[in-house]
Structure 1
Amino acid sequence: MKKDRIKIVTIGGGSSYTPELIEGYIKRKDELPIGEIWLVDIEEGKDKLEIVGNLAKRMVKEAGLDWEVHLTLDRREALKGADFVSTQFRVGLLDARIKDERIPLSHGVMGQETNGAGGMFKAFRTIPVILEIVEDMKELCPDAWLVNFTNPSGMVAEAVLKYGKFEKVVGLCNVPIMHNMMESKVIGKKPEDLYFQYGGLNHHHWHRVFDREGNEVTEQIMDKIFNQDENTVQNITSIPFFEEQIRDLGMLPCAYHRYYYLTDDMLKKELEEFAKGETRAEVVKKVEAELFELYKDPNLKEKPEQLTKRGGAYYSDAACELISSIYNDKKTDMVVSTRNNGALADLPYDCAVEVSSIITAAGPKPMNFGKFPPAERGLLQVMKAMEEVTIEAAVTGDYGKALQAFTLNPLVPSGKVAKVILDEMLVAHKKHLPQFKNAIEKIENTL
């Protein structure tokens, strides 16, 4: 039975992305009978929570809405009786991301937030925290939906399903929406005039596109994008794919596939940025500082345009539309990370995949994607195995499992280099890796 007033909690409420979220709720004020919005953060994020929280209150007031906006450092208090819980936190804040990027690059290895060594370490830090949140939800709001935007989104969703034993979780990413917007535009269409069929993993999917008459227009889009700058993601260098390779795939790749199809070129660019102290994390930290200066302005009552530089475009459209679709049983077609349930025949039935799904009151219903051709299938299966081992390492703190994950990852050289990077990153992040305490002490004793 639908409630007359719903309570939404955002963990990581002090994030610079929060105005996107508030804007999305306001846009859907006639669909979502919101009574309370709780923004939650930790002590280290208290100042940012106050700044962005007060902007959120001004935005709600400017929209003429009577929603209560609460700011708190008490997660359990916020979760009591919640209907939806969204997560957008970063364990270790942006300084941890800087380490994720700079340490691998210092060894001549790819450093990126969700790919390679950096992505695995983000999972190591994040998964234990999301599982703690899930335990609180089971006690305080067992019927609530967990809407996760925290990266690595797919691995987080799988950890919740497998180790948290919590079914009401959906992983979200704005990348598919950005592809939809760009690709429809290049052939003179609106996104709603096309059907996008996605399958794969978070930041590692492929897709095909069809028009309203049922004609596939994937090749038509390829014709256009190979003649112009087709980058769709703010934080990825726009190095052109090899046309022959993409046409052979028969599907459009994710922007993040550049790290796997163009590894040498992407690494060269990252090393140039690293040498100048301009890794993406360092750039984002500057952009975020500028955003919070804007947010402090008591006259600001709407999301500033500069937020698009942060890489969060269409964030609200993903998170808020998902919540509205579940609440209203809208059966919206969305790309989400959810349990496979056989939608991707080449991956385990119970793993998390990113796939086109129908969003119902009972959650996502993934649409059958079928089997992949060998080129996609081989890479996909390696990446899924890497994710599974990474998640197990994050949960258990097993050093051998962590090294195994590093060895599986295509962006990390196996052997001595992998072990050196793993050890250095474990020590650098030890404050946020209590599960690896024994392994870290052993490493430090040999230094």
Structure 2
Amino acid sequence: MKLAVVGGGSTYTPELIDGFARLREVLPVTELTLIDPALERLELIGPLARRILARQGHPGRVSWTDDLDAGVDGADAVLLQLRVGGQAARDQDETWPLDSGCVGQETTGAGGLAKALRTVPVVLDIAERVRRRNPGAWIVDFTNPVGIVTRALLTAGHRAVGLCNVAIGFQRKFARYLGAAPEQVVLDHVGLNHLTWERGVRLVGTAGAGGTDRTGGVEVLPRLLAEHGEAIAADLRMPRALLDRLGVVPSYYLRYFYRHDEVVREMRAKPSRAAEVAEIERRLLELYADPALDEKPELLGKRGGAFYSEAAVALTSALLRDTGEVQVVNTLNRGTLPFLPEDAVIEVPAAVGARGASPLPQQPLEPLFAGLVAAVTGYERLALDAALHGGRQRVFQALLAHPLIGQIDLAERLTDDLIAHNREHLAWA
């Protein structure tokens, strides 16, 4: 089984490699190719990947290249984890919207649109080249904004599934609170990428050698809120009272909507997250250069993306081994949320197998949440149109449609700023 990682020069890659090594029985990788235009990074991360596998007794072969076509040749699955423009572009996404009083963030609002415009054309080019080399290969997208990027891939007919670590992060945290195995925690997770709520948490079965019985179970969300509400709220940086009033656990990204003005004040008062990550990356690359290092360093835990390796292994295994396992993924709506278009991309539990991801039936989404989901879905449709076809008018329409913007003068100003800060990445600008 061959896997290719596009964006293999990311400082996060050793976390992914560690997951492949630890979970070899779930995903028996025999060959792994890291692909990245930054050869200087690959020359550090590639040898480290080999050492990590060797330390854990994994027999898989590791290679690396800046030649995309050669790297994906023969791959059964291609994982996308790229960042067009690097941390410098992310820093721009997180700063210039603040000048207009809007959240500066790489997946939400104007910054998120900027990232989509830079990313979608590049990802589609990669996917088309993968399709030419390996028509049957699966594409697992972890590249943000995952919802828009996955919709672009699926609209173009690619064999793709989008992946985010928000759900698995909640699963792991809730399991810890409950003193249960993660596999015993089943989430009623619903919404769009980075716009989701946990409407229920069931404790099911008994994990063991024979697997976990996912049927039935006991609803434990009220217990979690009663016993651990303060800790959950602190982690989300939202009021405990909000969780009690909603009766759900929103993802951290809802904070950009529910506490927008407060978040803007906080962002203006400190360096961007991109600047923080850039420093972490600099220190990580120094560590990776040590030929004695043969495990992921502790510092990597501050880089972000917790549990991505576990989620990526489980999803890729389900696709390639046709397990039918239920996982939270980004995939086509297909009537799952009837108030959304069929071709919208939603983030919900789905049965995953050789034919892709099939969303499980959902209870009707409460109006308090459905209204926001519908509005952001409309924005994402317009954002994809702008990414595919370009033009100032399309950018303006997407910004005007976004619930965090929605004013003519503001959208005009943000349109000009977005184009000015991303001109080198926009073929039409």
Q: TM-score, normalised by structure 2?
A: 0.93
Are positions 1:171 and 2:162 aligned together?
A: yes
Q: Residue deviations 1:70-115, cap 9 Å, x none?
A: 1111101112221100000000010000000111112322101111
Alignment counterpart, residue 408 of structure 1, candidates 401, 412, 415: 401
Larger mean Cα displacement after TM superposition, 119-128 or 182-191: 182-191
> 2: distance between equivalents of 1:96 and 1:336?
27
| Structure 1 letter corresponding to 2:162 | G
> 2: distance between equivalents of 1:182 and 1:385?
32
Alignment counterpart, residue 74 of structure 2, candidates 71, 78, 81: 81
- Contact (CA 8 Å) 1:340, 1:366: kept in 2 or not? yes
* Identity score, percent: 37
Are positions 1:160 and 2:158 aligned together?
A: no
> 1: distance between equivalents of 2:61 and 2:181?
36
Are positions 1:263 and 2:260 aligned together?
A: yes
How far the C-alpha of 1:230 sits from its partner, in A, is: 4.1
- Contact (CA 8 Å) 2:116, 2:387: kept in 1 or not? yes
Aligned partner of residue 165 in structure 1, secondary structure: coil
Q: Residue deviations 1:373-431, cap 9 Å, x none?
A: 11001011001101110011000003212111111112225222322222122122111
> 2: distance between equivalents of 1:121 and 1:221?
37
> 2: distance between equivalents of 1:10 and 1:228?
35
Q: Which runs of 5+ in 2 are unaligned?
A: 205-215
Structure 2 match to 1:376: 369
Structure 2 match to 1:147: 140
> 1: distance between equivalents of 2:369 and 2:163?
22
> 2: distance between equivalents of 1:418 and 1:241?
30
| Structure 2 letter corresponding to 1:14 | G
Are positions 1:361 and 2:333 aligned together?
A: no
How far the C-alpha of 1:257 sits from its partner, in A, is: 0.6
| Structure 2 letter corresponding to 1:145 | W
Larger mean Cα displacement after TM superposition, 170-179 or 342-351: 342-351
Structure 2 match to 1:27: 22
Structure 1 match to 2:213: none
Structure 2 match to 1:3: none
Q: Residue deviations 1:166-187, cap 9 Å, x none?
A: 1x10101111111111223334
Q: Tell me: CA distance 1:430–1:230, structure 2 relative to 1, closer, same or farther (3 Å).
A: same
- Contact (CA 8 Å) 1:194, 1:209: kept in 2 or not? yes
Structure 2 match to 1:443: none
- Contact (CA 8 Å) 1:241, 1:261: kept in 2 or not? no
How far the C-alpha of 1:332 sits from its partner, in A, is: 2.3
Larger mean Cα displacement after TM superposition, 374-383 or 364-373: 364-373
Q: Tell me: CA distance 1:303–1:177, structure 2 relative to 1, closer, same or farther (3 Å).
A: same
- Contact (CA 8 Å) 1:407, 1:413: kept in 2 or not? yes
Structure 1 match to 2:322: 329
> How many equivalent residue pairs?
417
Alignment of 1:41-190 (within 5 A): 41-42=36-37, 45-162=38-155, 164-166=156-158, 168-190=159-181
| Structure 1 letter corresponding to 2:328 | V
How far the C-alpha of 1:56 sits from its partner, in A, is: 0.7
| Structure 2 letter corresponding to 1:165 | G
> 2: distance between equivalents of 1:142 and 1:344?
30
Alignment counterpart, residue 231 of structure 2, candidates 228, 248, 266: 228
Q: TM-score, normalised by structure 1?
A: 0.89
Alignment counterpart, residue 202 of structure 2, candidates 202, 210, 218: 210
Alignment counterpart, residue 246 of structure 1, candidates 243, 247, 271: 243
Q: Which runs of 5+ in 1 are unaligned?
A: 1-5, 233-237, 438-447
